[in-house]
């Protein structure tokens, strides 16, 4: 891969949320270590899946990339520009190229705006079109996501969950962005509707050469849609590789446990599998374990795991893993 093929480059990104005490004189007593030093690239036209359990920092990563949260440290280079350094109008101009699709199609659409207003709003905000053009564009977008263009005058409550998610997709597409961050776009939908939305996302990607960061906890769906997959645990990326590498040759014990925990809709295949059942719960991100974050639940942890944080290293070409003992699984 050449360097100019990289659309987004995240380096040593850190996001801590302060926990404060006191009303007038607030002082910081601790911090939630939501994202702790992660680095990855996304290439043009690819889908990077970001998986992990709730609270592992995957949504925060997405939002910090868009500068909806300002990072505590690190850089986010999008199309050759470091977004962290940008302010005001300069940042707004860059935001045009990056959009987001949210998890909850009920909460992410303003109930007092018509669908046409919702989809057209980005065009108004960024002053890229006149009202007449906007109307045409809205109709075109509705058609693109498989909705009737006549629906532009209706309100969100008149639509089902799957249709609302299509409206969210149309809104994200309205500025013709190059990167779309999909934050659990299907987890609020019923199974038969999920497939409709995923197929739509795939079609649109092929049509417009879109780049996706697909944030999800559903490993089966991430496998289906992604070219490469990053696995997060408690604020750090523990493994990053092509999707087949991650699913066939997982090198991090957490990835292995996560994959073995996913139920397979086939009783015969399911019975044959070796299960690694992790003990206990994910520790609190306020006070994460020293050294390796995963060591408290890791089946192969040794004393050095508590002392040194494993480096996120490229163990095979394109296969990154943060574990002292990853070679054992090669």
Partner 1 sequence: MPDLLLDVQGLETQFKTSDGVVHAVNGVSFNLAEGETLGMVGESGCGKSVTMLSLLRLIPSPPGEITAGKAIFFNQDLLKLSNEEIRYVRGAQISMIFQDPMTSLNPVLTIGLQLEEPLMLHLGMNKKQARARAAELLGMVGIPKAADRLGDYPHQFSGGMRQRVMIAMALSCSPQILIADEPTTALDVTIQAQIVELIKRLRDELGMAIIWITHDLGVVAGIAQRVVVMYGGFIIEEAPVNELYANPQHPYTIGLLGSLPRVDETERHRLFSIDGLPPTLYEKPKNCPFAPRCKWAVERCWNENPPFVEIDTGHRLACWVDVKTGRER
Task: Write out the residues near partner 1 by the rule CB under 8 A.
Answer: 53-54, 160, 162, 190-196, 198-199, 202, 217, 219-221, 223-225, 247, 257-271, 275, 277-279, 281-282
Q: Are 286 and 293 in contact (CB under 8 A)?
A: no
Min dist CB 131 to partner 1, Å, is: 32
Q: 207, 247, 211, 16: which is closest to 99 by C-alpha?
A: 211
Q: 28 or 199: whose CB is closer to partner 1?
A: 199
The total of other beta-carbon atoms located within 10 Å of residue 260's CB is 14
Between 162 and 235, whose beta carbon lies closer to partner 1?
Answer: 162
Residue 136 or 203 having the CB closest to partner 1: 203
What's the min distance (Å) between Cβ of 244 and partner 1? Answer: 9
Minimum CB distance to partner 1 smaller for 240 or for 258: 258
CB atoms within 10 A of CB 23: 6
Nearer to partner 1, 114 or 196 (CB): 196
Q: How far is the CB of 190 from partner 1 (least distance, A)?
A: 4
Q: How far is the CB of 310 from partner 1 (least distance, A)?
A: 20
Helices (H), the chain: 58-65, 88-95, 115-125, 131-144, 161-173, 191-208, 219-225, 243-248, 253-261, 267-272, 303-307
- Residue 142 or 175: the one with the smaller Cβ distance to partner 1 is 142
**Residue closer to partner 1 (CB basis): 175 or 219:** 219
Using CA atoms, how far residue 87 sits from 24, 60, 79, 83, 226, in Å, is 28, 20, 17, 8, 32
Say if residues 277 and 261 touch (Cβ distance below 8 Å). Answer: yes
Query: Alpha carbon 155 to chain centroid distance?
Result: 28
**Length of the chain in terms of residues written:** 330
How far apart are the C-alpha atoms of 113 and 156, rounded to whole Å? Answer: 8
CB of residue 162 to partner 1, shortest distance in Å:
7
Please, what is the minimum distance in Å from the beta carbon of residue 222 to partner 1?
A: 9
- Minimum Å gap between C-beta 195 and partner 1 is 4
326's CB contacts (< 8 A; 6+ apart) are: 251, 252, 315
């Amino acid at each position: 891969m050449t360097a100019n093929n990289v659309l987004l480059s995240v380096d040593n990104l850190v996001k801590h949320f302060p926990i404060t005490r006191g009303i007038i004189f607030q002082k910081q007593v601790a911090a939630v270590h939501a994202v702790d030093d992660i680095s990855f690239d996304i290439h043009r036209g690819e889908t990077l899946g970001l998986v992990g359990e709730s609270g592992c920092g995957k949504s925060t990563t997405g939002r910090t990339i868009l500068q909806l949260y300002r990072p505590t440290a690190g850089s986010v280079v999008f199309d050759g520009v470091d977004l962290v350094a940008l302010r005001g109008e300069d940042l707004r101009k860059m935001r045009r190229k990056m959009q987001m699709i949210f998890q909850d199609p009920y909460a992410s659409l303003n109930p007092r705006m018509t669908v046409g207003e919702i989809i057209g709003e980005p065009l108004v905000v960024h002053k890229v079109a006149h009202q007449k053009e906007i109307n045409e564009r809205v109709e075109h977008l509705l058609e693109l996501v498989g909705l009737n263009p006549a629906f532009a005058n209706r309100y969100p409550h008149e639509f089902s969950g799957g249709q609302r998610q299509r409206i969210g997709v149309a809104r994200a597409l309205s500025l013709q962005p190059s990167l779309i961050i999909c934050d659990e776009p299907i987890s609020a939908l019923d199974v038969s509707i999920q497939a409709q939305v995923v197929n739509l996302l795939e079609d649109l990607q092929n049509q417009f050469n879109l780049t996706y960061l697909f944030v999800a906890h559903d490993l089966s769906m991430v496998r289906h849609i992604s070219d490469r997959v990053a696995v997060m645990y408690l604020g750090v990326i523990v493994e990053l590789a092509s999707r087949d590498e991650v699913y066939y040759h997982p090198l991090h014990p957490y990835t292995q446990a996560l994959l073995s925990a996913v139920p397979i809709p086939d009783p015969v295949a399911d019975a044959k599998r070796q299960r690694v059942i992790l003990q206990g719960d994910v520790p609190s991100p306020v006070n994460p374990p020293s050294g390796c974050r995963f060591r408290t639940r890791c089946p192969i942890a040794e004393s050095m795991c508590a002392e040194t944080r494993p480096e996120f290293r490229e163990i095979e070409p394109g296969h990154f893993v943060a574990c002292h003992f990853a070679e054992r699984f090669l």
